[in-house]
Amino acid sequence: MKKRKPWRLIVPVLRWSIIATIWASILAGALVGWYALDLPDPDRLISDRTPSVTVLDSNDRILATYGDFRGEIVPFDRLPPDLVAAVIAVEDRRFFDHGGMDVFGVLRALVANLRAGEVVQGGSTITQQVIKNVFLTPERSLKRKIQEVLLAFWLERKFTKEEIFAIYLNRVYLGAGAFGIAAASHRYFGKKAGELSLGESAMIAGLLKAPSRDNPFNNPGRAIGRTTTVIDSMVDAGFIERDRARRAKATPLVLAIASNTGGDARYATDWVTARASEYIGVATRNLIISTTIDATLQEKARNALVSGLADGGPASAEEGAIVSMGPDGAVVAMVGGSGYSKTQFNRAVHAYRQPGSAFKLFVYLAALEAGWHPDTGVEDRPVTINGWSPGNFRDGNEGMMTLADAFAGSVNTVAADTAWKVGIANVIEVAHRLGIDRELPEVPSLALGTTELSLVELTGAYGTMANQGLATWPWVIREIRTSSGEVLYRRHVLPAPRLIEPAVHAAMTAMLGKVMEDGTGRAAQIDWPAGGKTGTSQDFRDAWFIGFTRQYVTGVWVGNDDGSPTGKVTGGGLPARIWAAYMSQALAGEPSLKLVDHAPPPATGDFTDLVSDLLGELTGDSPDSRQRGPEW
């Protein structure tokens, strides 16, 4: 049999190989073309991003951020060289050499993964990471991989290497809600990206692998370990010397306040963001809101409330709230519940409860404005008004007493009778004038605080007393600006109108001071001159204490969300103790200031003498203040 020559066998193989290659190329081209038709729009690289809101306290410390926190765009020439080297060392050492896809990197990762028996390295380049972050979903499929490579080649032709690197670092998620290098630099270290040290740069570069797991707020130990790995990689890549690496690893990294992601300050910041929309509408750009909240006082208020509720004993309430503001109404602290992680409902703003005797401020102000005096004689006796007969906290009646004694002892019969005599309409007018916005019914029981109010509005009304009779309306936003610095809103301070005449203000202040000296508010006594009023609603459902010094006016409410009785908690008990605990800390280091600047003008002798004596007791200026017995 005749043998076939070898070349005759090779020719058919080559022919069919060429044909197969052509058809494979055609099919591959068709597949690529088909997937290319479904490519995402590259213009998304420059599209608008979802706006974020950053809320700052009165000292420009971050209280909370909403949405994805994104800082300004940082171009490549403003990035620290150490940061660039750190990212290149751990993410893509051939970044400046390849054309978008690193074949050697893919092979190296494949070998490492096979040796480890699991995925320990990725072969994606920084260019491919940009494509993943900007354009594509996290799905694992042939289609997505082909689109990733196509877009990577397009990106390499469209932009320079430096521009691609900057796009990457300005887009990538770096943990703790921070997107981009500017946001991460501010979030973790409170500085601009260009100010990062070698160690700080290495820590941020280390977050690229697992930002949620390795960020220093969540896991400081892992963050430090990852930072060390990055620095060692920089040495291995020849980017830094070993001596410099040792110094960097030995230098402690100082983090910004870890609580900047919110915590219980969110009660206040939620209120801030809601109010911000009233000034600027819907946010379309990244916003920075500067507020009057003091992060230090916020923490003190939270601690006082939580500790008070925990230590209240069997008669305690399950929930509470605190609002503290300056005499001008600038809110410095707001805690709306026992814990934001447990309940986000802000009881300081949105809960409307009966204030009880804390409402009597408006009753007695109306009486003083009608010509009554603190020494005016009143009688604690059974009273019936239009079929309604109020009772006192303690059964029985004590007979004749002064108006100041009746207020200090929170005598219900006297308050109801006084309100009826001076006119319920006048009491309502005083309440509205001092900032109570709700419609108040013209009924006799109004005198005892049966109409529901919010803590923030009632505290604001008492602020008028701290503000020397001038208007105090709660406010919290100093300025709203975009992340680029454009001011959208700024509060303009206007002279506050006088709402209470000096003589009446001095008399009412003295009576409020007497409540704390020897009345129902004795548990709220502190080392600074102060005045305030207790309040307890029917069946002990709500307990209040609203008090003030020259520096702050603070309101405390405790109760149960379902309106059930608290177990006989009164305003002079748990709320007063919480108030004193917070105010003692808030006023630490502050001077002891008189409650009233202006002396009462000449009036009747008894009235002037009584007010002067009461005010003297509060400031230690009265020559006979040490001689008065507790009956005063």
Active centre residues (catalytic): 91, 357
DSSP 280-343: H-S--S-EEEEES--HHHHHHHHHHHHHHHHTSGGG--SEEEEEEE-TT-BEEEEE-SS-TTT-
Separation in Å, CA 76 to CA 169, 230, 289: 9, 20, 28
Q: CB–CB of 57/294 below 8 Å? A: yes
Residue linked to tokens 């409020």: 512
Burial class (CB in 10 A: 0-12, 13-18, 19+), 231: buried
Q: How many helices (H) and strands (E) does the chain have?
A: 21, 14
- Identify whether the C-beta of residue 87 lies closer than 8 Å to the C-beta of residue 172: no
- Residue 212, classed as helix, strand or coil, is helix
* Residue 457: C-alpha distances to residues 83, 438, 493 (Å): 50, 10, 20
Nearest residue to 554 (alpha-carbon basis) of 478, 410, 458:
458
Tell me the backbone φ, ψ of residue 542, rounded to 5 degrees.
-135, 140
Identify the helix (H) or strand (E) that includes residue 542. Answer: strand 542-548
Give yes or no for a contact between 392 and 413, defined as CB atoms under 8 angstroms apart: yes
Measured N-to-C along each axis, helices 126-134 and 142-158 cross at an angle, to the nearest 10 degrees, of 110
Q: How far apart are CA 512 and CA 532, in angstroms?
A: 5
* Of residues 366, 374, 369, 367, the one with CA closest to residue 511: 374
Look up residue 352 and give its two tokens. 């409307």
H or E element, residue 146: helix 142-158
- Angle formed by the axes of helices 242-250 and 198-206, to 10°? 80
Q: What's CA 89's distance to the chain center, in Å?
A: 38
Token readout for 523 is 């548990």
Could you tell me how many residues make up the chain?
Answer: 632
How far is 457 from 315, CA to CA, in rounded Å?
Answer: 27
Which residues make Cβ contacts (< 8 Å) with residue 517, sequence separation at least 6?
A: 408, 525, 617, 618
CA distance 433 to 564: 32
For every residue of 413-435, DSSP letters joined together read HHHHHHHHHH-HHHHHHHHHHTT
The Cα–Cα gap between 350 and 336 comes to 9
Cα diameter, the chain: 146
